[in-house]
Amino acid sequence: MTETKSTTTPVRDRALDLLKWLAMLSMVMDHLRYVGWHANWLYVPGRLAFPWFCLAIAVNLVRNGRRDVDSSIKWKYLAWLAVFSVIAELPYRIYMAGEVTTLNVLPTLALGLLVAQGGLSRSWPARLLGITALAIGVLFGTQLMFGMYGVLLPLAFVLVLRTSLWLAIVPGIVCLLSNEWPKIVDGMLWGDPISIGALVACLLAPLLGLTILRGRPAFAVWPMRRWAYLIYPVHFLVLLGLRQVLT
């Protein structure tokens, strides 16, 4: 009698790939505001990008956590974020010159990955790394894009994915706090439509993202694999070139 070994590979989650592409699109739309066009309204759809990237991180962690009993530290995932955070910093600073007050978004996502993983894992090394990452987020929040609350957002999504969809308001509030919420709220009180739209986008982004994940796309979605990390630094250079042409 011969023993057969399964060679099946996991089926790609088209809904998750779709969420990532939509997050990328939202990010590019947000950064188009700095090309030179008078398109401040793009700030509103731009509020969807960061929470959707955080949701994608949480989905991957929760899914892997169910397969791996020890929920070991995802070093490869962390390494890719760390490497491209370094690669992207110069294009980010060149394109956003005059607007830069923080590092690019990838360090925030890397710290958020560690915090969420520490909250999910039973492994004490993972928990200690999570606590350390949270401490870094608290101490250096002003240097991080989306600050301390941005570091907490993936963990907030883990809470929803592990418990109930009804708690989607939690990451919505964290998302709002991670943005320039005093300006958003102040503008909303003055009736500014962009501020009102940004407030609604922040609060509803988690629910919209979770709705996308629960859907079953009837069309093919190009899988977003590790090569997609290149999109982040490259899109800054493309937009920089576009700005040079326009001005």
Handedness of CA 123, 126, 132, 134 (dihedral sign): negative
In the predicted structure, residue 91 carries a pLDDT above the cut 90: yes
pLDDT digits (tens, 9 = 90+) for 194-214: 999 999 999 999 999 999 999
Burial-class residue 246 by CB neighbours within 10 Å (0-12, 13-18, 19+): exposed
Q: How large is the greatest C-alpha to C-alpha distance in the chain, in angstroms? A: 77
pLDDT digits (tens, 9 = 90+) for 108-166: 999 999 999 999 888 888 899 999 999 999 999 999 999 999 999 999 999 999 998 88
User: pTM score > 0.75 for this model?
Assistant: yes
Residue 233 CB contacts under 8 Å (≥ 6 apart), including other chains: 84, 87, 88, 91, 92
Q: Give the CA distances from residue 146 to residues 180, 204, 243, in Å, rounded to whole numbers and listed in that order.
A: 8, 17, 25
- Distance, in Å, from the CA atom of 188 to the CA atom of 230, rounded to the nearest integer, reads 36
Structure tokens at 215: 């859907």
pLDDT band at 32 (very low <50, low <70, confident <90, very high): very high
State the number of CA atoms in the 13 A half-sphere of 234 facing the CB: 6
